[in-house]
Amino acid sequence: MRNPARFPIKQGLHSRQAHADLPEQALYEREVGRDGFFGPASHIHHKHAPTGWTEWEGELRPRAFDLMQLNQLAEGNSPFSAPVILHNAHCQYRFWHCNEPMQKLARNADGDDLLFVHKGEGDLYCDYGHFVVTEGDYVVIPRSTMWRLAPRVPMQLLMIEATDDSYQLPEKGLVGNHAIFDPAMLRYPEINDQFLAQQDENTWQVEVKRHQRLSRITYPFNPLDAQGWHGDLTVMKINWRDIRPLMSHRYHLPPSAHTTFVAKRFVVCTFVPRPIESDPGALKVPFYHSNDDFDEVLFYHAGDFFSRDNIEAGMVTFHPAGFTHGPHPKAFAAGQAHKKTFTDEVAVMLDTRDALEITAASQAVENAEYVYSWKG
């Protein structure tokens, strides 16, 4: 079992503790850490912002994609036709416009799916019954569950597949099981009248995805014909409005404090409105950090994204591991002046241990100038 050497050292000008009372002569604090925000870390104080580059060459750069510009022709409104934006061996990141009821059932044999409803509302039918899903809902669909979605109004959904894996809730440690959100807020489908009414003897097809390839199975009846069930494996949902974020008025918490779901090789976090730190010496914007073990992806759902310039709802930023990133200059200056006392942003973050690959679909909607958006 590994036990890394850990011995706090101090050199030169520095603050007494992380993210608070930064010295005026070295105002820009950069966290260099391992294992996300859980491993050994040092905080280096700079005269200049670590994001103050003037030129960038090569593929390893911060990227921004406008998913509202995606050209989607999803045949039969299949989730498997939704374009892949980012992917690796353990994760697939898609964005799906579902405008009409699905004509076939879906079954993902490659892993659990996590849906986040960016816009719209609809009825979800699955092996376990029926419930309504609406804007702001997370929906966890266990691997190989049969399901279909029938929008009441056109829907836009972020889809994150845990390839060969499953979604779990995070360990909440010292703050207890009911922190962030009480598991009692999780909702599950019901065998209700609406579910029973959709059962018929018509011909239905099921699209099964395995090894990222599709097979189709035809039935002379609707296979969503359950009459009841019992157990502790099911589809579940929770809305971001039911999340009560951890907060400290004296310390800017790392993104990991906002973890909503975990898989073996990545985590999904949710940023929701909260008070901004009020202690005079506390950092009031995300700190500059070199997160060299994780790729970071942020989907912007709603609100005023206070740490970013020129980012709107429906956009995605992608910061690969290997370089320092942090707030844009205007956001940093506003944090120093404490111009805002409350955030109103809602965003979904994906942090992956394994490098993500971009696709032709994402490149087609990329803002190539995003890398220079940190210029003062």
Q: How far is CA 177 from CA 50, 139, 144, 239, in A?
A: 37, 20, 28, 18
- Homologous superfamily (CATH) of 74-240 is Jelly Rolls (2.60.120.10)
Q: Flag whether pLDDT at 350 surpasses 60.
A: yes
**pLDDT band at residue 75, thresholds of 50, 70 and 90?**
very low
Topology (CATH) of 24-64+245-372 = Jelly Rolls (2.60.120)
What pLDDT does residue 71 have? 74
**pLDDT band at residue 29, thresholds of 50, 70 and 90?**
confident
Structure confidence by residue, pLDDT tens digits, 80-113: 999 999 999 999 999 999 999 999 999 999 999 9
Same fold, 24-64+245-372 and 74-240: yes
Residue that wins the pLDDT comparison between 282 and 186: 186
Which two tokens mark 65?
Answer: 């994609």
- Close Cβ partners of 96 (under 8 Å, ≥ 6 residues apart): 72, 74, 79, 82, 156, 157, 158, 159
Q: Flag whether pLDDT at 326 surpasses 90.
A: no
Task: Compute the mean pLDDT over every residue in the chain, rounded to the nearest whole number.
Answer: 90
What pLDDT does residue 72 have? 60
Question: Hunting for tokens 């490098």 — which residue is that?
Answer: 355
State yes or no: is 252 an active-site residue.
yes
**pLDDT band at residue 285, thresholds of 50, 70 and 90?**
confident
Percent of the chain with pLDDT over 70: 95
- What residue spans define the domains of the chain? 24-64+245-372, 74-240
What pLDDT does residue 21 have? 74
Q: Flag whether pLDDT at 145 surpasses 80.
A: yes
289 is in an annotated binding site: yes
pTM of the model: 0.93
Q: Flag whether pLDDT at 78 surpasses 90.
A: yes
Residue that wins the pLDDT comparison between 231 and 343: 231
Q: Flag whether pLDDT at 151 surpasses 80.
A: yes
Q: Flag whether pLDDT at 324 surpasses 90.
A: no
Q: Flag whether pLDDT at 74 surpasses 50.
A: no
User: 3-state SS of the chain: helix, strand, coil percent to 5?
Assistant: 10, 40, 50
Q: Which amino acid does the sequence have at 246? A: L
Which two tokens mark 264?
Answer: 């073996």
Lowest mean pLDDT among 189-193, 272-276, 346-350: 272-276
325 is in an annotated binding site: yes
Q: How far is CA 225 from CA 120, 201, 208, 365, in A?
A: 26, 10, 18, 41
Q: Which residues of 69-108 are buried (b: 16+ CB within 10 A; e: fewer)?
A: ebeeebeebbbbebbbbbbbebbbbbbbbbeeebebbbbb
Q: Which amino acid does the sequence have at 305? A: F
CB atoms within 10 A of CB 263: 23
Structure confidence by residue, pLDDT tens digits, 255-266: 888 999 999 999
Structure confidence by residue, pLDDT tens digits, 181-236: 999 999 999 999 999 999 999 999 999 999 999 999 999 999 999 999 999 999 99
- Per annotation, catalytic residue among 97, 252, 258, 328: 252
Q: Flag whether pLDDT at 73 surpasses 60.
A: no
